[in-house]
């Protein structure tokens, strides 16, 4: 299993200048390769990442001599990344690759034999030793690393191949999770988890900072300072959200053997402009992604219930379906047995029941109930 550890760096001024130069080189090479890929494709040729790399290696020493001042990995890895990007595009797994812009996603790659990590120090090519804020927490074969910038801080993301990387669970229970906007998650146990909503909390400060940025003269030092302020605010929003999602997903995987969650169509839901902001701030897709890989670490069974399953409309006591249930109805009242319960809690119980029995609680055979349970893996329902 390959896992990664992202560690904050503490570089000197000279080291930070090299990081910017190396990231700029990687960005330049990516844009050069993408431009030539488009040109060759329009000429009827079949471009390839490795062919473009050979063409670039033959001319960069004369046309771009400044590239030799950075390590070779900075201008060789972009070709491999571009090939992967087009492979995903042709498989309809990603959009068409775009040109990179300065200041956005600045990063460069370092192969595993070009750096060494010892306690809280990493030895990188050209610049030597750089301080780490913490030690590498995984033991195994190091596959490579990426140095990236987020706001005004630099990070080292190390990929490590570990054997039998599993964590022990505290409990072996089953839980159903119903995600929402009013509360981020309602568990079948009755626990309601509120979301921090960091973007909503910092929106006023972001608007003010971005308004000040738009008034600054382009190319001025004040504009660069204001850009860093805006970037730091965005980074803070991202870190608050990620901290909340990681803590919640880890706790759920550690305390349960079977986890059931709805496979929501988030991409389609954000097209509703009235809900898009709240859905993006909640980050349901990222929560599901974390549950997927952490369920493998804790050897859990993660079931993605079909998005058409009427978990909110079904009574968790008698199994009857209330077709006229609307979003305004926050309390579920069954018309057959008179059962009353919070709408989200009722849906979470239905999801938990699906995980406990492997079929509907009352034996109905609908298409949305067909699913397969595979130990220590995640599966989707049909």
Which residues are catalytic, by number? 178, 262, 344
Alpha-carbon distance of 116 to 129, in angstroms, equals 9
| SS3 annotation, the chain | CEEEEEEEEECCHHHHHHHHHHHHHHHHHHHHHHHHHHHHHHCCCCCCHHHHHHHHHHHHHHHCHHHHHCCCHHHHHHHHHHHHHHHHHHCCCCCCCCCCCCCCCCEEEEEHHHCEEECCEEEECCCEEEEECCCCCCCCEEEEEEEEEECCEEEEEEEEECCCCCCCCCCCEEEEEEECCCCCEEECCCCEECCCCHHHHHHHHHHHHHHHHHHCCCCCHHHHHHHHHHHHHHHHHHHHHHHHHHHHHHHHHHHEEEEEEECCCHHHHCCCCCCHHHHHHHCHHHHHHHHHHHHHHCCCEEEEECCCCCCCCECCCCCCECCCCCCCCCEEECCCCCCEEEHHHHHHHHHHHHHHHCCCCCCCCCHHHCCCCCCCCEEECC
49 and 82 Cβ atoms separated by less than 8 Å:
yes
Which CA distances in Å does 154 have to 21, 322, 357? 13, 53, 48
**CB-neighbour burial class of residue 240 (10 A; exposed 0-12, middle 13-18, buried 19+):** middle
Alpha-carbon distance of 377 to 293, in angstroms, equals 9
């Amino acid at each position: 299993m390959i896992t990664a550890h992202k560690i904050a760096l503490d570089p000197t001024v000279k080291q930070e200048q090299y990081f910017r130069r190396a990231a700029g080189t990687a960005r330049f090479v990516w844009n050069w390769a993408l431009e030539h890929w488009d040109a060759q494709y329009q000429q009827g040729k079949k471009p390839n990442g490795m062919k473009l790399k050979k063409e670039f290696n033959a001319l960069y020493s004369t046309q771009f001599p400044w590239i030799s001042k950075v390590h070779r990995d900075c201008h060789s890895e972009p070709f491999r990344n571009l090939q992967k990007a087009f492979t995903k595009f042709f498989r309809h797994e990603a959009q068409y690759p775009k040109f990179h812009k300065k200041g956005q996603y600045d990063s460069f790659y370092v192969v595993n034999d070009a750096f060494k990590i010892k306690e809280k120090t990493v030895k990188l090519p050209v610049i030597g030793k750089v301080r780490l804020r913490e030690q590498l927490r995984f033991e195994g074969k190091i596959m490579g690393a990426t140095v990236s910038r987020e706001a005004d801080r630099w990070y080292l993301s190390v990929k490590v191949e570990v054997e039998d990387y599993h964590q022990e669970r505290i409990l072996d229970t089953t839980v159903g999770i119903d995600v929402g906007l009013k509360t981020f998650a309602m568990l079948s146990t009755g626990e309601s988890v509120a979301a921090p909503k960091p973007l909503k909390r910092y929106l006023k400060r972001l608007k003010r900072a971005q308004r000040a940025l738009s008034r600054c003269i382009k190319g001025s030092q004040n504009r660069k300072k204001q850009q860093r302020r805006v970037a730091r605010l965005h980074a803070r929003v991202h870190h608050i959200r990620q901290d909340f999602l990681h803590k919640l997903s880890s706790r759920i995987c550690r305390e349960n053997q079977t986890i059931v969650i709805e496979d929501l169509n988030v991409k389609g839901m954000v097209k509703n402009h009235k809900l898009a902001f709240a859905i993006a701030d909640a980050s349901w897709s990222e929560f599901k992604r974390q549950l997927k890989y952490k369920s493998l670490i804790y050897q859990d069974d993660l079931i993605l219930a079909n998005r058409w399953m009427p978990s909110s409309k079904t009574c968790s006591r008698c199994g009857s379906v209330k077709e006229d249930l609307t979003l305004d109805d926050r309390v579920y009242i069954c018309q057959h047995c008179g059962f009353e319960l919070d709408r989200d809690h009722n849906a979470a119980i239905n999801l938990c029941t699906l995980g406990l029995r492997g079929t509907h609680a009352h034996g109905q055979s609908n298409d949305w109930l067909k699913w397969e349970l595979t130990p220590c893996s995640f599966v989707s329902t049909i």
